[in-house]
Structures are given as C-alpha cells and as structure tokens.
Amino acid sequence: MFEQTAVATREMVLEKFPPIERIDKGPVAVVECYQKIPCNPCQTACPFGAIQIGADINEIPRRDEALCTGCGVCVAKCPGLSIMIVDGSKSAGTVEFRIPYEFLPLPQVGERVLGLDRAGQPICRALVKKVMNPPAFDRTPVVTLEVERKYLYDFRNFRREAEAHG
C-alpha cells in the first residue's frame, strides 16, 4: 500500500519510533526513511554519530536512540523532510514534536493549528511552541508543536486554520 499512497502503515511507523521510555526521557529523532535511495546527509549532519548509513549510501539510516540527543540538526538537513524530533519528557499528557515546515507565512508562537496525520487528515489540535528558522537551517524552518499524547504515532503535519491546502 505504501508504494501506492506514500502513507506509511502503523507497523512501519512503530518500527521507526524508539520505545516510549526513551521518548519520555527527552527529545529523540524519528527517521521515517523507508526506501533505499542514494542519500546520506543525515549521517553527515549528526554531530553524535547517532545516525548510521554506512559505506553504501543506499542503505536505510539507523538511528541509535542511546547516542541521539534530539538536537534536531538532522531535521532541516534531510532532503526528504523525513525526520522529526519527539519529546515526551515535558508532561504526562502531551508530547512535543519538532517538524520541518517549508511554507509561508510561518505560524506564530502560541497559535493553535490543526494537527494532521500521514494522510493529511485532521486528527487533533496542536499548539505552536517555537518556530526556528536560522540561516543554518537553509530555509527549512522547524516548528515545535505540543500535541495530546494519544496522537504520538499519528501526528505528522499541521495546517494553519486560515488555510485550505489541497
């Protein structure tokens, strides 16, 4: 199905997430790269050696959750925008996501937006906590959003309320 819709199945998604205990300890990268393509900037970007592809740049990246600090350098570097940071350490009821967002206008901190799943369907509300767009991110801004914990494995994107994409 994934090859027809580009929407990853629940099983595929779960395989890319570290255990919940790790997520609750603090931020960690989730690398949603499912296909062997010749690409390795995530490995090159990671200052901690936490993402490994190896000598063959076609291999699928493996993220070591023990080495990953959730710094997020990889998020804006992935040409496929396939990486996000999840953090369950902030509260028992919510999780924070850091996701790349290449659209203007950027959301405002404190803004409530519509949370979308991997098929672009609205599933929840999300609160914008931070918007980062430094020169080092090279025009791929990264937005931090707070989402109810039960959407941990479903939330993947957001839409500002005034907009109607698609």
Partner 1 sequence: MRELELLIIGSGPAGLCAAISAASSGAKVLILERSFQPGGQLIKQTHMFFGSERQYASHRGVDIADILLRRAAEFGDRIELMLNATAVGFYEDNVVTVLKDEKEYFKIKAKSIICATGAFEKSLAFPNNDLPGIYGAGAVQTLMNVYGVRPGNRVLMVGAGNIGVIVSYQLMQAGIQVAAVLDAAPRIGAYLVHASKLARMGVPILCSHTIKEAIGTDCLEAAVVCRVDQRFRPIPGTERRFDVDVMCVSVGLSPLNELLAMRGAAMRYVPQLSGTVPLRTVDCETSIPGIYVAGDASGIEEASSAMAEGYLAGLCAAAGLGHVPEDYGARRQEYLGQLEDLRSGPVGDRIRAGMKLSAL
**Contacting positions for partner 1 (CB under 8 A):** 2-8, 32-41, 44-45, 56-58, 77-82, 102-104, 116-121, 138-140, 156-157, 159, 165-166
**Strand, helix or coil at 76?**
helix
For partner 1, which is the closer residue by CB, 64 or 117? 117
Residue 18: CB minimum distance to partner 1, A: 20
Residue 76: CB minimum distance to partner 1, A: 9
Q: How many CB atoms lie within 10 A of CB 137?
A: 16
Question: What is the identity of the amino acid at 70?
Answer: G
For partner 1, which is the closer residue by CB, 21 or 56? 56
The secondary structure element, H or E, covering residue 115 is strand 112-116
For partner 1, which is the closer residue by CB, 110 or 134? 134
Residue 114: CB minimum distance to partner 1, A: 11
**Strand, helix or coil at 20?**
helix
**1 exposed, middle or buried (CB, 10 Å; 0-12, 13-18, 19+)?**
exposed
For partner 1, which is the closer residue by CB, 50 or 83? 83
Is there a contact between 15 and 120 (Cβ–Cβ < 8 Å)?
no
For partner 1, which is the closer residue by CB, 98 or 159? 159
Residue 59: CB minimum distance to partner 1, A: 8
Residue 121: CB minimum distance to partner 1, A: 7
Contacts of 3 (CB under 8 A, 6+ apart): none
CA 156, CA 86: separation in Å to the nearest integer?
11
